Amino acid sequence: MHRIAHDAARLLWNCRQSGTVIDALPDEIRPRDAIAGHAIQAALAAVAERPVVGWKIAATSAAGQAHIHVDGPLTGRILDSFVRPIGATLSLTGKRMRVVEPEIAFRMGATLPPRSAPYAAEEVLAAVASLHPAFELPDSRFADFASAGMAQLIADDACCGRFAFGPAAPATWRTTDLAAHLVHATVCGANGCVRYTRQGEGRALLGNPLIALTWLANTLSVLGLGLRAGDWASCGTCMVPLEIMPGDRVVADYGTLGRIEIGLCD
């Protein structure tokens, strides 16, 4: 299993580095279930020779799950090389999924190690240091990621792309109704004119960002991994992903939680 996982992770990493895609992993190294998919994902950091700095959740809404034909959310590793500064201009060269996702992320202040009993939401909240508005630019190494299947999507790091994490929100986020909290996004073209706007809310993240974070903590606990102090935990997009093109600039206004901006180029 170790050699198969390593070979599959190497192929997916090479695709990521070159901006190429495949129809599917070769039959001899293709994962048949979630366990095999997680083994391949676990080999990613060693293949890339980059540390894991956090985790993402993909498909936190029913619409997102239906789009990629899975019956629940997926976890993915965030490597340090996937993180870019907020406000930077990111290249879309080699990216096929040309979308930006305004997300809600947390930074862990304490470790939640693997254990037999599930973590309660109150325990998870107490382990959080801060909340951050964030962007993800997801991508896939599969030509038709929507039909790749759960096991291959997990192997492909749950379509993990690049992240930009904004400043920590004011501490009042702890008393904010995060499920009902609105996020407004604006996509402006190269000429500075608004192309379109979109709105979402925190309930898109499994009903509430804190529910999503608790799900992540317990999923990683079952996998024998856990969340570590200092980890990022990006809990999913607040809205339908924003379609983008080179020259665009995206602004996401989280109200009392902050405002973030990012540019896109060729």
Kindly report, residue by residue over 130-149, the tens digit of the pLDDT: 999 999 999 999 999 999 99
Q: What is the pLDDT of residue 183?
A: 98
Q: What is the pLDDT of residue 98?
A: 95
What's the domain range around 106? 51-265
| Domain assignment of residue 244, yes or no | yes
How buried is 191 (Cβ within 10 angstroms: 0-12 exposed, 13-18 middle, 19+ buried)? exposed
| Domain assignment of residue 206, yes or no | yes
pLDDT at 1 over 70: no
| Domain assignment of residue 30, yes or no | no
pLDDT by residue (tens digit) across 186-221?
999 999 999 999 999 999 999 999 999 999 999 999
Please give the tally of structural domains in the chain: 1
Length of the chain as a residue count = 266
pLDDT at 16 over 80: yes
| Domain assignment of residue 38, yes or no | no
d(CA 212, CA 243): 24
What is the average pLDDT score of the chain?
96
Mean predicted confidence (pLDDT) in 169-184 = 98
Confidence of residue 15 (pLDDT cuts 50, 70, 90): very high
| Domain assignment of residue 43, yes or no | no
pLDDT by residue (tens digit) across 214-233?
999 999 999 999 999 999 99
Mean predicted confidence (pLDDT) in 83-104 = 94
| Domain assignment of residue 13, yes or no | no
Share of the chain above pLDDT 70, in %: 100
Mean predicted confidence (pLDDT) in 256-261 = 98
CATH number at residue 139: 3.90.850.10
| Domain assignment of residue 6, yes or no | no
Q: Where are the beta strands (DSSP E) in 125-221?
A: 128-137, 162-165, 182-188, 194-201
| Domain assignment of residue 148, yes or no | yes
Confidence of residue 126 (pLDDT cuts 50, 70, 90): very high
Q: Where are the beta strands (DSSP E) in the chain?
A: 52-58, 74-79, 83-84, 89-91, 99-108, 128-137, 162-165, 182-188, 194-201, 232-237, 242-243, 249-253, 259-265
Q: What is the pLDDT of residue 94?
A: 87
